[in-house]
């Protein structure tokens, strides 16, 4: 066989290295590599590589023309892959030489004693100096509701696949002078399990609005806030305990009754072949043009990272969130969903590359928001339509919020960074990221709700 043929075979042939589900996944000697394709042929080569769906080749960003692509490579493939790239003339750079080391350093450890001390002195253990477990986040919300009962209320939207309560906090100083509910801003995060920075930013915003409420009297006078820091608690916890790079929910639909017997058999076979195919991509599971875009944007294969699920709202997490939003849609003026990474303020649509008729209004508000973001620490954000700037996707929450719930100002915010650490953003960047995003969100609140 020719040299290149055997490299491709060895890349495609690595499915044998299934990870065992019971133990924690290690990324020892896995490398994060940035690729610089500069022709359509390069992009096609990379798409071919992506299609191999090997456990040892994981794309963090889609291969696209004139765009860089970040990919995680398992230790057995690193040298073959580099040979392949050199042979194809695709430039690359190693961003992280050993992912496990970066994982180990990302989140400073806290002992039980330290946590107990924090609870004794502060009433909760949140620090914004580290990423916290779901239980700590929920306890924080409950602490606030107890300590600030006049403005903070914890609402259980439903339960996750594994039975964890999905809790959000509603922050409101009450009705307006006419006794009506105020216009509200919705913020969610943690749709994708591994994107820890989003949930940390969400709880930071909660802390500002509640614990520093006297500094935000005017903002609270005009606006209610509905903040859901972790949409996908099962995935979030699994990214702490099982696989740091887990993205999806933790459901298993192999035995669903409403699937056809044929699909069941196919699913069972792929599961047997691939080992681990749990979970649905919650951000492909919303009921708006669900399952439409297959090319790169959403997959109907349960083993894939962007599996859209067996049907729209198959996941209790997306269903619970959507039901609450629908029940309150007449008050919600702004829908914001926090993701990472790439520093973008994305405007609908994702499912099509045509723009909504009010696109220019949404983009102009977003541009003012990123102006405010950049002022804080100089961090650059890009504004643009999802399908263009990122890649086409169907069934994402922002499209649904605008298309079905009718919330005009719907955005997906892709937080820091641009790939130096990617999903493994060090905890030391929580506060700077949160401060700049909070500036952007306050600007949106003023523009959309207060008209100033
Ligand atoms: N990173 C997000 C995802 O892949 C982006 C979603 C953007 N929204 C959209 N409608 N395309 O889910
Ligand atoms: Zn995401």
Complex ipTM value = 0.94
**Shortest-distance ligand to the CA of residue 390:** 1
Cα(117)–Cα(113) distance, integer angstroms: 6
Q: What is the DSSP letter of 182?
A: P
Active site residue 48: no
Per-chain residues with Cβ under 5 A from ion ligand 2: 192, 195, 339
Which atom of ligand 1 lies nearest, measured to the CA of 192?
Answer: 12
Question: What distance in angstroms lies between residue 359's CA and the mean position of ligand 2's atoms?
Answer: 22
Question: What distance in angstroms lies between residue 282's CA and the mean position of ligand 2's atoms?
Answer: 9
Helix, strand, coil percentages for the chain (3-state, nearest 5): 40, 15, 40
Q: What is the pTM of this model?
A: 0.92
Burial class of residue 149, CB neighbours in 10 A (0-12, 13-18, 19+):
exposed
Mean pLDDT, 10 residues at a time, over the chain (452 residues)? 48 42 82 96 92 84 88 95 95 96 92 94 95 98 98 98 98 93 97 98 98 96 97 98 96 75 68 72 97 80 91 98 98 98 96 95 98 98 90 94 98 96 97 98 95 62
Cα(337)–Cα(412) distance, integer angstroms: 5
């Amino acid at each position: 066989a020719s040299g290149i043929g055997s490299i491709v075979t060895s890349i495609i042939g690595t499915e044998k290295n299934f990870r065992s589900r019971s133990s924690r996944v290690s990324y020892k000697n896995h490398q994060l590599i940035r690729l610089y394709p500069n022709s359509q042929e390069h992009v096609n080569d990379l798409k071919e590589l992506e299609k191999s769906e090997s456990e040892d080749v994981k794309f963090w960003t889609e291969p696209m023309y004139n765009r860089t692509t970040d990919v995680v490579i398992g230790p057995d493939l690193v040298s073959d892959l580099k040979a392949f790239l050199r042979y194809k003339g695709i430039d690359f750079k190693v961003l992280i030489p050993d992912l496990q080391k970066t994982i180990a350093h990302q989140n400073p450890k806290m002992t039980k004693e330290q946590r107990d001390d924090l609870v004794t002195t502060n009433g909760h253990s949140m620090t914004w100096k580290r990423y916290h477990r779901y239980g700590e986040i929920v306890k924080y919300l409950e602490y606030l509701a107890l300590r600030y009962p006049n403005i903070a209320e914890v609402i259980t939207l439903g339960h996750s696949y594994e039975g964890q309560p999905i809790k959000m906090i509603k922050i409101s100083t009450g009705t307006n002078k006419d006794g009506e509910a105020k216009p509200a801003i919705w913020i969610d995060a943690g749709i994708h399990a591994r994107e820890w920075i989003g949930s940390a930013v969400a709880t930071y915003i909660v802390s500002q609005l509640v614990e520093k409420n006297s500094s935000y009297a005017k903002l609270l006078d005009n606006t209610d806030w509905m903040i859901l820091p972790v949409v996908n608690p099962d995935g979030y916890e699994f990214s702490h305990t099982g696989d740091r790079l887990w993205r999806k929910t933790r459901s298993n639909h192999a035995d669903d009754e409403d699937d056809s017997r044929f699909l069941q058999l196919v699913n069972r076979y792929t599961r047997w072949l691939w080992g681990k195919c749990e979970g649905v991509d919650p951000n492909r599971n919303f009921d708006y043009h669900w399952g439409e875009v297959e090319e790169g944007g959403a997959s109907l294969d349960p083993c894939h990272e962007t599996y859209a699920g067996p049907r729209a709202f198959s996941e209790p997490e997306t269903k619970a969130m959507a039901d609450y939003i629908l029940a309150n849609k007449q008050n919600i003026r702004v829908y914001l969903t926090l993701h990472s990474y790439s520093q973008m303020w994305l405007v609908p649509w994702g499912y099509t590359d045509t723009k909504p008729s009010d696109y220019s209004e949404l983009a102009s508000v977003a541009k003012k928001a990123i102006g405010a973001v950049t002022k804080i620490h100089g961090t650059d954000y890009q504004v643009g339509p999802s399908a263009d700037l990122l890649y086409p996707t169907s069934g994402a929450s922002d499209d649904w919020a605008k298309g079905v719930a009718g919330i005009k100002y719907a955005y997906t915010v892709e937080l820091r960074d641009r790939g130096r650490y990617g999903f493994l953003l060090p905890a030391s960047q929580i506060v700077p990221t949160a401060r700049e995003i909070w500036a952007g969100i306050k600007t949106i609140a003023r523009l959309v709700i207060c008209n100033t």
